[in-house]
Structure formats: structure tokens, C-alpha cells
Amino acid sequence: MDASGYVFDLTQHTVRELNQALHNLPEQGPPTAWKVLNPAGEHTVAVGINAPCTVEIAGHVGYYCAGMNKYATVTINGNASTGLAENMMSGVVRVRGNASQSAGATGRGGLLVIEGDASARCGISLKGLDIVVQGAVGHMSAFMAQRGRLVVCGDAGPALGDSLYEAQIYVRGSIADLGADCIEKELRTEHVEALEALLAAARIALPARQFRRYGSARKLYHFSVDHADAY
């Protein structure tokens, strides 16, 4: 520990030791600050945190960084591989580079900010998490997303929002094509105000009215033989 908090150098300690130290933090304890040095693409860094703390990771990370996060604020000063912030519950996860596929998968709450681009299936099976991507997203993003919001400040790849439920999607750039049952919807005043607040929380200075809103056409909720060709 130094004057700025706890320091874990992953050339001197294992990821298991780091995660165990984070898991030992009391859920109702005072906030603590952590720095992780030399991650070198290690997998499962800072997963399963269940305490109010800040974790700053100095470099690139591998699979499933900050998965199952609860209460913590995790900042990655680099790129993140597959499954960033998977099944996140609350708190904030921010990656200052790009994220690979399935970022924010099944996320239930909190805020995930990706300052670069996100690959395929960003926000797959979303269940309440807010995801803001400053760049572009790849194909099948928000596939089967149930709740929450996906905000894309750049472009979106093919099959955006395929088989969408009640999640909301906002896109500022172009869209390759929409997935099954995803349609453009009216951007009303209440959506503009909510999006402005979300962009402010993500620290992205863009006008909310430059975005378009997309959601579910609600034609795939229940099977109907009349719609068999759509399944």
C-alpha cells in the first residue's frame, strides 16, 4: 500500500491473489483505492467485486475483466478482451480503449463505458445494464437484450437488436441493418432528457438529439403461426 492506496503488481502477485484481496473487502466498508500494474493481458482481472472501491488497471486485460462487478468503479487504461463486465450488477466499468466481443453480456445494472470500439454481440442478453460506446459496435449487438440501454456514438454492424425485448438502443452513426423485430422508434422529449443524463454520466459531450432510438416491434413475444416465417 502507498499513499494513493493498495498497489498490486501482477509481475509480483497472481491474479488469484488480487481477486481474493478484493473479495475480502467488506460490502459495507469504507471505499478503498487499488492500482493494478502490469496486467499484460491476464484474464479475469478484478472479477466478483462486492464492495465500494476504485480499481485502476494500468494496461490491457484479457477475458472477463470486471465480471460480476457490484459497487466498484473499475477503470482499464488499455483494451479489454472477450466478456468485459459480464453479468455486471452495479457500479461503473470504464475501458479507455477497445473491447472485444460480448462486452456487458447479461449485465443487470450499473454503467459500462467503452471509449473506443466494441466488437460483436456487445450487450448480448442485456438485463438492465447501461452501455455507452463512444466508437462503433460489431454485428448482433444487443441480441436478445431484455432491459437496459445500449448507446452507440459511432456506427453499428449488421443485425442490431436482433430478437430484442424491452431494452432501448440509441445510435448516432449509420447502421448496417436491423435484426429481427427491431425497428426505429420516435425520439420523444423524455428519451432526449434520459439520454442526456446518461451521456453526462459517461462523460461524453454529444447532443442527445443527434441519436436515433430503436426498440422492439413486439411481434416475436409469442409464437403465432401467422408469423412463422419470422422465426
DSSP for residue 176: S
Report residue 222: phi and psi, to 5°. -130, 145
DSSP for residue 170: E
Residue 194 has pLDDT above 90, yes or no: yes
Lowest mean pLDDT among 126-130, 156-160, 193-197, 225-229: 225-229
DSSP for residue 153: S
The average pLDDT across 121-134 equals: 98
Q: Render 56-123 in DSSP notation, one character per residue.
A: EEES-B-TTTTTT-BS-EEEESS-B-TTTTTT--SSEEEESS-B-TTTTTT--SSEEEESS-B-TTTT
pLDDT number for residue 220:
80
Q: How far is Cα 138 from Cα 147, in angstroms, rounded to an integer?
A: 20
pLDDT number for residue 222:
67
Residue 6 has pLDDT above 90, yes or no: yes
User: What domains sit in the chain, N to C, each tagged with a CATH number?
Assistant: 6-230 (2.160.20.60)
pTM, two decimals, is: 0.94
Integer Rg of the chain from CA? 18
Q: What percent of the chain has pLDDT over 70?
A: 94
The average pLDDT across 16-22 equals: 97
Average pLDDT, rounded, for the chain:
95
Q: What is the per-residue pLDDT across 49-95, written as a single tens digit (0 to 9) for each?
A: 999 999 999 999 999 999 999 999 999 999 999 999 999 999 999 99
Name the band, by pLDDT with cuts 50, 70 and 90, for residue 219: confident
Residues 6+ positions from 119 with CB-CB distance below 8 Å: 98, 99, 100, 101, 103, 137, 138
Q: What is the per-residue pLDDT across 25-43, written as a single tens digit (0 to 9) for each?
A: 999 889 999 999 999 999 9
Q: How far is Cα 88 from Cα 70, in angstroms, rounded to an integer?
A: 7
Residue (of 71, 26, 80, 79) closest to 52 by Cα position: 71
The average pLDDT across 7-35 equals: 96
Residue 1 has pLDDT above 70, yes or no: no
pLDDT number for residue 145:
98
pLDDT number for residue 230:
60
